Chain A
Amino acid sequence: MSTNSMSDPRRPNKVLRYKPPPSESNPALDDPTPDYMNLLGMIFSMCGLMLKLKWCAWVAVYCSFISFANSRSSEDTKQMMSSFMLSISAVVMSYLQNPQPMTPPW
């Protein structure tokens, strides 16, 4: 099969379909940021709810936003939404229980 450089290099009979690479180990290896941020967000929102610390709840909101921004498209949106809702509820509950403004630690 000799091909001239002038001729068309395309070969329609040799088309191979795209196979997404196996995703068992790769996503976690490539970039663990969204998973860490998700976990951190949940921990902070639980702290904020249990210990009634407003700053914990705000940090949880930030963590869930960062996790969302870094997430892969293959990831479950339900997980993302649940952590987001949890952090928002932590903030709201902290303010309902104690409407005083947040005091800076310094």
Chain B
Amino acid sequence: MKTLPAFCVVLLVLWSVSEAKFDDFEDEEDIVEYDDNDFAEFEDVTEDPAPESPQRVVTTEDDEDEATVELEGQSENQEGDFEDADAPEGDTENEPYDDEEFEGYEDKPDTTSSKNKDPITIVDVPAHLQNSWESYYLEILMVTGLLAYIMNYIIGKNKNSRLAQAWFNTHRELLESNFTLVGDDGTNKEATSTGKLNQENEHIYNLWCSGRVCCEGMLIQLRFLKRQDLLNVLARMMRPVSDQVQIKVTMNDEDMDTYVFAVGTRKALVRLQKEMQDLSEFCSDKPKSGAKYGLPDSLAILSEMGEVTEGMMDAKMVHFLTHYADKIESVHFSDQFSGPKIMQEEGQPLKLPETKRTLLFTFNVPGLGNTYPKDMEALLPLMNMVIYSIDKARKFRLNREGKQKADKNRARVEENFLKLTHVQRQEAAQSRREEKKRAEKERIMNEEDPEKQRRLEEAALRREQKKLEKKQMKMKQIKVKAM
């Protein structure tokens, strides 16, 4: 592609040279007319073509160097011409005309040469004809950017992987002493511990542990920052965020009493109260300060009842919370946990969402993004807190008053829900009844035997009559009772 323009230039040069040779004889007359007729006999035919051809070649778009060489050559030739013209003519019989005659002669070649010089414009070679890499600087920039992105992907992925492995190595012993099954991805036929983390993403790692008293299982999710995405890395430079460890313990129904309780940073609790179904329904008050129990100011409490808070905030729990307050984002115990509020488009769902007795913990890894594998050791005491909480949740039971209150709360929530969906449930029941009637009618129509048809119709009529009678009886009874 780049040789094509060079080839064109060479062709042009050859063509112009050949043209120049033919043009000599055409333009000779023009030049003769241009000059005075007196000097026509002094015109040297052979000398003129020499300066002319370089001029013509120069007017094409060639390199500057070629042009300047030609100009110099041309000017040299012209000077030679002048000298040659002057010397012989000075010696001939035209002496009295020397000055006047040759003034014009000197000027005219000058004007012709200057006029021929004007059209010679030095044009810049366009970018696509240049053979340099510098003109492609934007492309080189793009490719460099891509390479930087790929490098960051590899480095980020490796760092996240190392952090995950460091966390697991630190916690492995504690987990294996508490759970039979440590690590399961659900694909094996037998329930054997895989003994390693389940990688969901380049920045999310899961671990499922099961086989312990009181709990069904524990799902640990290591949610690291997206170190493999350069855009995310740049965004984090503006706004630092921490890696998080989320732990979800599913409790057995008989091992946990009915209460909803949360403790954590104020910001986290406000967000949870808005998002989580159970916290918004059962803990309607704003997060309260935990200073009464000896907690630092950074932590707040959301609770269904005061009794629950009293029961939960025992000495050891307070000790855990105070010492590791900077790493705790939120701790949430609930028997009515169903996840975040579901935004449905068709209105309210017809059934209450399924609930599970759950303990949820969210911890922040120290370092605010600049984490090193050795920082994972700082999270080990928090895992101890989790194990302690599991045992505590099993031991803690509400007293009679508390239980009554809790039951009342749950009944209230259910009633509210039923009220909201009453209209929809009625409509659903109505449509179901109509469906049944239609199906029966179709069956009657499809019966080929006219006898059977008649019998089915009669049966349907009788059923409807009975229903009407029942309704009438009920109305009568209500009227009597009212009276």
Count contacts on A: residues with CB < 8 A to the other chain: 31
B136 close to chain A: CB less than 8 A: yes
A78 close to chain B: CB less than 8 A: no
Interface string of A1-29 (1 = CB under 8 A from B): 10101000111101111111000000000
Interface string of A22-65 (1 = CB under 8 A from B): 00000000000000000000000000000000000010011001
* A101 near B127: Cβ-Cβ < 8 Å: yes
Nearest B residue to A103 by beta-carbon distance? B138
Interface string of B422-466 (1 = CB under 8 A from A): 000000000000000000000000000000000000000000000
* B213 near A104: Cβ-Cβ < 8 Å: no
Query: With contacts A15-B210, A19-B186, A58-B142 known, is A69 near B178, CB below 8 A?
Result: no
Nearest B residue to A10 by beta-carbon distance? B180
Min Cβ gap A30→B in Å is 9
* A16 near B210: Cβ-Cβ < 8 Å: yes
Nearest A residue to B181 by beta-carbon distance? A15
Nearest B residue to A5 by beta-carbon distance? B391
Query: With contacts A16-B217, A17-B186 known, is A61 near B202, CB below 8 A?
Result: no
* B212 near A70: Cβ-Cβ < 8 Å: no
Nearest A residue to B183 by beta-carbon distance? A18
- The size class of the interface chain B forms with chain A is 35 or more
B201 close to chain A: CB less than 8 A: yes
Query: With contacts A15-B180, A73-B201 known, is A99 near B128, CB below 8 A?
Result: yes
- Per the 8 Å Cβ criterion, residues 158-180 of B in contact with A are 177-180
* A12 near B213: Cβ-Cβ < 8 Å: no
A93 close to chain B: CB less than 8 A: no
Nearest B residue to A68 by beta-carbon distance? B153
* B179 near A73: Cβ-Cβ < 8 Å: no
Q: Which residues of A contact B138 (CB under 8 A)?
A: 101-104
- Per the 8 Å Cβ criterion, residues 122-169 of B in contact with A are 127-128, 135-139, 142, 145-146, 149-150, 153
Q: Which residues of B contact A58 (CB under 8 A)?
A: 142
Query: With contacts A15-B191, A18-B186 known, is A70 near B226, CB below 8 A?
Result: yes
* A12 near B180: Cβ-Cβ < 8 Å: yes
B326 close to chain A: CB less than 8 A: no
- Per the 8 Å Cβ criterion, residues 196-223 of B in contact with A are 198-202, 208, 210-213, 216-217, 219
* A20 near B211: Cβ-Cβ < 8 Å: no
Separation of A3 and B178 alpha carbons in the complex (Å):
13
Query: With contacts A3-B213, A66-B229 known, is A73 near B200, CB below 8 A?
Result: yes
* A102 near B216: Cβ-Cβ < 8 Å: no
A100 close to chain B: CB less than 8 A: yes
B64 close to chain A: CB less than 8 A: no
* A65 near B146: Cβ-Cβ < 8 Å: yes
* B136 near A101: Cβ-Cβ < 8 Å: yes
Query: With contacts A3-B213, A10-B179, A10-B180 known, is A100 near B128, CB below 8 A?
Result: yes
Separation of A65 and B152 alpha carbons in the complex (Å):
12
Query: With contacts A18-B184, A66-B231, A99-B128 known, is A12 near B211, CB below 8 A?
Result: yes
Nearest A residue to B202 by beta-carbon distance? A69
Query: With contacts A18-B186, A61-B146, A62-B146 known, is A69 near B200, CB below 8 A?
Result: no
B185 close to chain A: CB less than 8 A: yes
* B127 near A11: Cβ-Cβ < 8 Å: no
* B180 near A69: Cβ-Cβ < 8 Å: no
Q: Which residues of A contact B273 (CB under 8 A)?
A: none
* B213 near A102: Cβ-Cβ < 8 Å: no
B303 close to chain A: CB less than 8 A: no
Separation of A83 and B359 alpha carbons in the complex (Å):
42
Nearest B residue to A1 by beta-carbon distance? B213
Q: Which residues of B contact A12 (CB under 8 A)?
A: 180, 211
* A72 near B216: Cβ-Cβ < 8 Å: no
Q: Which residues of B contact A20 (CB under 8 A)?
A: 186
* B212 near A17: Cβ-Cβ < 8 Å: no
Q: Which residues on B are within 8 Å of A, measured CB to CB?
A: 1, 127-128, 135-139, 142, 145-146, 149-150, 153, 177-181, 184-186, 191, 198-202, 208, 210-213, 216-217, 219, 226, 228-231, 391
27 contacts between A and B (CB under 8 A): A3-B213, A5-B391, A9-B212, A9-B213, A10-B177, A10-B211, A11-B180, A11-B212, A11-B213, A14-B210, A14-B212, A14-B213, A15-B180, A15-B181, A15-B211, A17-B184, A20-B186, A58-B142, A62-B146, A66-B231, A69-B153, A69-B228, A71-B201, A100-B128, A101-B138, A102-B136, A102-B138
8 A-B pairs with the lowest CB-CB distances in the bound complex, closest first: A18-B208, A15-B211, A18-B184, A18-B186, A101-B136, A102-B138, A69-B229, A12-B180
With A11-B213, A12-B211, A101-B139 already in contact, 16 other A-B pairs whose C-beta atoms are closer than 8 Å: A9-B213, A10-B211, A15-B211, A19-B186, A58-B142, A62-B145, A66-B229, A66-B231, A70-B229, A73-B200, A99-B128, A100-B128, A101-B135, A101-B138, A102-B136, A102-B139
